[in-house]
Amino acid sequence: MGENQTEIESKVYNLILNPHTRDWERAQLREVIDEVAAEKSFDRALADLEVKFRPLALRNNLTPDVTDFYHQLVGNKSSADPLDLSRHYAKDAPNQERAIFAGGCFWCMVEPFEKRPGIIAVFSGYTGGEVANPSYDQVVGQYTGHVEAVEIIFDKRVISYKELVELYWQLTDPTDAGGQFNDRGNNYQPIIFVYNSQQRQIATDSKMKLIESDFYGRPIMTKIKAATTFWPAENFHQEFYKKNPKRYKGLERERKLFLRYLRLKGRLRAILKQLNIIR
């Protein structure tokens, strides 16, 4: 792992104390501490732990923070490097603004925004719920009322909030209130969270324009709500497209294919309306 025993033991203790660590994971971590206390080789104890975690890690079924620790155990440091969240907590400069969009799994919502000029930072996280500092397990289990979302910090001199909203419509299916694409459940519903009256007006006008276009031929279900506390997700979920490129590309390919299908249907619908074949 490239760290000394004291540093690794500290991480093990922190995971044991982490309220989001599952009971089974916590038991395995405690066993490492107990075995070392009984004078078992520390390296041997870590090797045994890696073997126990491996089946779940290969199925992406460890909790996010334990997943990061597992990647450190096997030497995959780039997947476990912590993302600097200081921009999330910092006060915005006069030329900066924030936007929050929920559009299904946040893994696929980061890259399209992050690569636009004028974007300062994009964070994956949870918002719109009632519980402080929710975990991924809690949100996916729909126990807290949160949705997966992205928080975008942008430079208003380079890119406008209106442009971000227009991009958001291109990334989602606004007619699906039960989730997005293969991700089903209230935690994946599409919502635009607005910080002020100006954002609300821009989002509302954009939504009305989409409704009036009748592009989809179905009701637009995307909600517009007041922004509430945005809780950054666990490090495992931050910049997922960079840390897990192969898995991300597979998910993104499916998403793009479905969006292309929706746009094709919309264009066909427009042609049929022009020909007075449908109304």
Cβ atoms of residues 113 and 75 within 8 Å: no
**CA–CA separation, 107 and 20 (whole Å):** 20
Q: 């007041």: which residue's tokens?
A: 226
Q: Region 7-29: what's the mean pLDDT?
A: 95
What does pTM read for this prediction?
Answer: 0.87
Q: Are 123 and 149 contained in the same domain?
A: yes
Q: 């007006």: which residue's tokens?
A: 201
Q: Are 161 and 34 contained in the same domain?
A: no
* Structural domain contains residue 34: yes
Domain stops at, among 55, 79, 103 = 79
Give the pLDDT confidence score for residue 279 in this predicted structure.
74
Q: For the ranges 45-49, 72-76, 255-259, which has the lowest average pLDDT?
A: 72-76
Q: Are 57 and 123 contained in the same domain?
A: no
Domain stops at, among 48, 64, 79 = 79
Q: For the domain that residue 205 is a member of, what is the CATH number?
A: 3.30.1060.10
**CA–CA separation, 243 and 245 (whole Å):** 6
The verdict on whether 105 is a catalytic residue reads: yes
**CA–CA separation, 5 and 65 (whole Å):** 19
Model confidence over 196-238: pLDDT tens digits? 999 999 999 999 999 999 999 999 999 999 999 999 999 999 9
In three-state secondary structure terms, 157 is: coil
Q: Are 146 and 225 contained in the same domain?
A: yes
Domain stops at, among 33, 48, 79 = 79
Q: Evaluate the CA torsion angle 127, 130, 133, 139 in order and state its sign.
A: negative
Give the pLDDT confidence score for residue 2 in this predicted structure.
61
Give the pLDDT confidence score for residue 32 in this predicted structure.
95
Q: Are 157 and 222 contained in the same domain?
A: yes
* Structural domain contains residue 266: no
Q: Region 248-277: what's the mean pLDDT?
A: 92
Model confidence over 146-198: pLDDT tens digits? 999 999 999 999 999 999 999 999 999 999 999 999 999 999 999 999 999 99
**What backbone phi and psi angles, to 5 degrees, belong to 190?**
-80, 125
The single residue of 105, 122, 150, 159 carrying the catalytic annotation is 105
Give the pLDDT confidence score for residue 188 in this predicted structure.
97
Q: Are 118 and 157 contained in the same domain?
A: yes
Q: Which domain holds residue 183?
A: 86-241
Radius of gyration, CA atoms only, the chain: 22
* Structural domain contains residue 94: yes
C-beta neighbour count of 23 within 10 angstroms: 6
* Structural domain contains residue 143: yes
